[in-house]
Structure 1
Amino acid sequence: PAALCALGALFGLVCGCFGYRCFKAILFLSGLLFGSAVIFLLCYKERVLETELSLEASAGIALGIGLLCGLVTMLLRSVGLFTLGLLLGLLLATAALVAAVPVLPPPPSPWVPAGSLLGLALLCALLALRWPKALTVLSTAVSGAAAVVVCVDYFVEALAMVLHVYQRLRLAPAAPLCWQGWVALGAWPALSVLAALLQWKLTANGLSHTD
């Protein structure tokens, strides 16, 4: 796990700093991650053909279909941009919901946060089709910073911050974060802004991935 987290942190740095320059690779990875995650959850949580699949079988099926989804998002630019926008919307909605939980009264139904996640994700996906460069830079900056922060949280607090965010999204009581967790959580928007500025001014300056 430590080696995987170190690799994830490296991926986050590359994604955040050079996301738009590695446009095709980012489109492929976005499709791979989305496809693999969705299929893995479906296979592992549900019975497939009246058979309870093991963790390894579910991971293998998810990886195979994820590779296919990655190829689709890489070859079909509009699908890849839509996926990048979805990822950005989900991350922004997650941050907004976690920040709003201590301030606002609890929602009457869990469908309220779920609808907020889906609504903002779809909005960002449509905006990515309208302004592809700006939203690609923003999406890769935010997701790259999130990957770095999660990996740092693993090494410092064994994913205590991630568990805190998960409990907040479930509207369940969450254990309070210590100062390291708050520092990591606060570093996410700061790193996102820095990565977006770095791409816009340097690594993505003058580049245009248009059809």
Structure 2
Amino acid sequence: MSDLTQPAPGGTGPSVAEVDTCTLEIERKYEVVPAVICAMCCLFGIIYCFFGYRCFKAVMFLSGLMFGSVVIFLLCYKERVLDMQLSVEASAGIGLGIGALCGLVTMLVRSVGLFLTGLQLGLLLAIAALLAASPFYSPGTVWVPLGTLLGTGTICAVLTLQWQRLFTVLSTATFGAAIMTLCADYFVEMLTLAGHVYDQLRLAPTAPLCWYSWVIAGVWPTLSLTGVLIQWKLTGEGYSHTEVIVSRRQKRVQLMRIRQKDAKKRQQGGGQEGVYRRKPTPIKRYAGDVLAPSYLQSLRDRQMGTGTSLSSLGTANHTLIDFDFETGSTVPLTATTPVIRV
């Protein structure tokens, strides 16, 4: 067999080392399980990137699910379990089962979910920093990238516990953008960018990236910035994750207290209802109100019939006339007749 690394006979053909890999066509052979997993992860990435803070509890569950599923899947697929090599389907099933348990823990225990969210942000920032520094600096030991990952992840996790809203928005937007970038890398170039990052972390020799790999890598910061702006101004505006973490028991206690206060107010109002009953406004009567026309006419008739005047009636008894609803007045008059009520 001839050596493929040597030039062709005659010295005219290029060697394999001199061939530009970026000009070669990528062989895409998709498998069912990885393709379905990537499609689901892309959907999760959209929820993370643009609705991460709004769907707080769902994001906490997905964080634990993905973290636990990926770790268990790699352990089961790469290592021998019970002296046998598990298939991809079996490893994925075991990973999803244990990942679901991790998701329940991160959803129910808020501090654990926030710590994991900050840890994800720190790991992603450390990976981005190592990838950007790879053309200029090559670490001599694997402990440098490992320490960078652990240190940055721990710092971001602690900061997330302190400033929960800010770092939750940053983490979910960044992590969702990274998931969508990874899915695009799988469907475009069969995880070439992900393999390059993995080789960089374990200090293995790597080939330079092609231009389309850098284009896919540039999608990550663009989507991250877009997700942060959308969450901060639109989907997360006027929403607080602390209002979501309220148990049903606390809600019942608050509702019972409100009902008890309403019942006390009703009892107090019912006991004082007979005391503070509103009385009708009394009718004010003033001397000098206009006399009834019928009474004036009767006086004129008597004057004309007897020939006396009103002044001649001063020695008689005083007459008190009450005009009930017509005038509402009480006027003393002199007359020889008894009291007349009209």
Q: Please say whether Structure 1 and Structure 2 have the same fold, judged by a TM-score greater than 0.5.
A: yes
Per the alignment, in what secondary structure is the counterpart of residue 120 of structure 2? helix
Matches of residues 172-187 of structure 1 in structure 2 within 5 Å?
A: 172-187=204-219
Q: 2:158 aligned to 95, 104, 126, which one?
A: 126
For residue 8 of structure 1, what is the aligned residue in structure 2? Answer: 41
Q: Whole-Å Cα distance in 2 between the matches of residues 195 and 110 of structure 1?
A: 33
For residue 168 of structure 1, what is the aligned residue in structure 2? Answer: 200
Give the drift of 1:174: 1.6
Q: Whole-Å Cα distance in 1 between the matches of residues 47 and 103 of structure 2?
A: 18
- 1:95-116 deviation per Cα after TM superposition (whole angstroms, max 9, x unaligned): 1111111112x22310111011
For residue 37 of structure 1, what is the aligned residue in structure 2? Answer: 70
Per the alignment, in what secondary structure is the counterpart of residue 205 of structure 1? coil
For residue 143 of structure 2, what is the aligned residue in structure 1? Answer: 111
% identical equivalent positions = 63
2:189 maps to 1:157? yes
1:54–1:36 CA distance, 2 compared to 1 (3 A): same
For residue 60 of structure 2, what is the aligned residue in structure 1? Answer: 27
Q: Whole-Å Cα distance in 1 between the matches of residues 78 and 58 of structure 2?
A: 30
2:129 maps to 1:96? yes
Give the drift of 1:13: 1.6
119-128 or 60-69, which deviates more: 60-69
2:113 maps to 1:59? no
State the AA in 1 paired with 2:99.
Answer: G
For residue 203 of structure 1, what is the aligned residue in structure 2? Answer: 235
8 Å CA contact retained: 2:120, 2:153: yes
Gaps (5+ residues) in structure 1? none
2:235 maps to 1:194? no
1-10 or 87-96, which deviates more: 1-10
State the AA in 2 paired with 1:137.
Answer: V
Q: Whole-Å Cα distance in 1 between the matches of residues 140 and 207 of structure 2?
A: 22
State the AA in 1 paired with 2:76.
Answer: C
TM-score by length of 2: 0.58
2:119 maps to 1:86? yes
Gaps (5+ residues) in structure 2? 1-33, 246-342
Give the drift of 1:3: 4.4
8 Å CA contact retained: 2:169, 2:232: yes
| Number of residues of Structure 1 aligned to a counterpart in Structure 2 | 209
8 Å CA contact retained: 2:61, 2:103: yes
State the AA in 1 paired with 2:241.
Answer: H
1:41–1:9 CA distance, 2 compared to 1 (3 A): closer
Q: Whole-Å Cα distance in 1 between the matches of residues 181 and 92 of structure 2?
A: 25
- 1:139-171 deviation per Cα after TM superposition (whole angstroms, max 9, x unaligned): 110011111111222222222211222222222
- 1:14-48 deviation per Cα after TM superposition (whole angstroms, max 9, x unaligned): 21000111110110011111122222333344455
State the AA in 2 paired with 1:84.
Answer: T
Q: CA RMSD in A?
A: 1.8
Question: Counting helix residues as a fraction of each chain, which structure ranks higher?
Answer: 1
1:158–1:40 CA distance, 2 compared to 1 (3 A): closer
1:81–1:113 CA distance, 2 compared to 1 (3 A): same
1:11–1:114 CA distance, 2 compared to 1 (3 A): same
Q: Whole-Å Cα distance in 2 between the matches of residues 33 and 140 of structure 1?
A: 13
TM-score by length of 1: 0.91
- 1:82-135 deviation per Cα after TM superposition (whole angstroms, max 9, x unaligned): 01111111111111111111112x223101110110111111111111111111
- The structure number with the bigger radius of gyration is 2
1:34–1:188 CA distance, 2 compared to 1 (3 A): same
